[in-house]
Amino acid sequence: MSEVNKVVLAYSGGLDTSVIVRWLQDTYNSEVVTFTADIGQGEEVEPARAKAEALGVEEIYIDDLREEFVRDFVFPMFRANTIYEGEYLLGTSIARPLIAKRLIEIANLTGSDAISHGATGKGNDQVRFELGAYALKPGIRVIAPWREWDLSSRESLMAYCEDHNIAVDYAAGKKKSPYSMDANLLHISYEGGILEDPWAEPEEAMWRWSVSPEAAPDEAATIELDFEGGDIVAIDGEAMSPATVLEHLNKVGGENGIGRDDIVENRYVGMKSRGCYETPGGTIMLRAHRAIESLTLDREVAHLKDELMPRYANIIYNGYWWSPERKMLQVAIDESQNAVNGKVRLKLYKGNVIVTGRQSGDSLFDESIATFEDDAGAYNQADAEGFIKLNALRMRIAANRGRSPL
């Protein structure tokens, strides 16, 4: 192995990354710096400090990134109404560029010449972490143990712990769930276990953040969301920070059975994967944002955004957040949001998000023109005849030349 003096590891404190700490120390004879991000996963991150210290780590970073995560990553993504393959709200995908950014920042702070992560060679996360790292520091070395070592199962990891005196408690030796799970403020995901059979129905006990729609309250909850520049800034009249907005929407959404999804998606590395997701706050945000845009966006701008969105979603899903094409699209998306201001009223009921009202000082809805009542001459209906004939002209010409559509 070529020399690595110091490496920054994205460290969760679980079994895999605890093994990676010792493996890096032994394999590369390297000093290890650990970085643990709090992005709202709902678990204490501070215990990772004691786990890292027990493994001989001296430089330990534990950072609260919740506000940055929602403000600089989740909110910009939702301005585009982003959804991958018609279903996935990209909860895991959007967290990875932030983690990559902080890994590089810590590498620069500590003089490290490499970074490392615990993503496997089968998944998307290896791509997301590493594309981000290379974009931000082209010469950084990336060490991906799952692509190098011969530890191929949980049992082999546990055996490694025994052989190298890694305390099982520190390695999170007792698995709490049969699923591979990832959580942050935007979502929680579940993969593996019975979910590897696409026909198997998820167990009700699997879900962590939401009640089932059947068990949700029989009375709808009503909320009002205030938007400024396409972002939610207040709920029911109370101003909130970005992270607080998402925390609140997760709570009220989960209580009403909102945000469950069961998806078979196409991974960037080529395989299909079945996963289940809970995204209660994000589901509410997407519905509300489209509602306020319906009132405030020009028609062609709205339609162009919808055409660009799948490309933007692919960019994020595949790990290209730090790419020039994403930055270019983001400028256009953000420009479109200047007038996306106002209020949306929603009812949350048994898994449904129902828009019951929207209003805005920047509304393009003109009641005097749209009314079915007397419009006092605001719209001349006779104008429609010429409009229709002109738009039918090419089809009329073709039909007159014998090119009937029948």
Active site residues: 16, 96, 125, 180
Q: Which amino acid is at 116?
A: S
Bridge partners, 346 (sequence order): 223, 355
Q: Please state, in angstroms and as integers, the Cα–Cα distance from residue 212 to each residue in 305, 347, 348, following that order.
A: 33, 17, 13
* Neighbouring residues of 372: CB distance < 8 A, sequence distance ≥ 6: none
Alpha-carbon span 201 to 97, nearest angstrom? 32
Alpha-carbon span 89 to 187, nearest angstrom? 9
Q: How far apart are the first and last CA of the chain?
A: 70
Contact 295, 364 (CB under 8 A): yes
* Neighbouring residues of 132: CB distance < 8 A, sequence distance ≥ 6: 96, 97, 99, 100, 101, 104, 319, 321, 322
Residue 278, SS3? strand
Alpha-carbon span 120 to 53, nearest angstrom? 25
The total of other beta-carbon atoms located within 10 Å of residue 298's CB is 11
* Neighbouring residues of 237: CB distance < 8 A, sequence distance ≥ 6: 224, 226
Beta-sheet strands, E only, within 82-220 = 114-116, 141-143, 180-183, 188-191
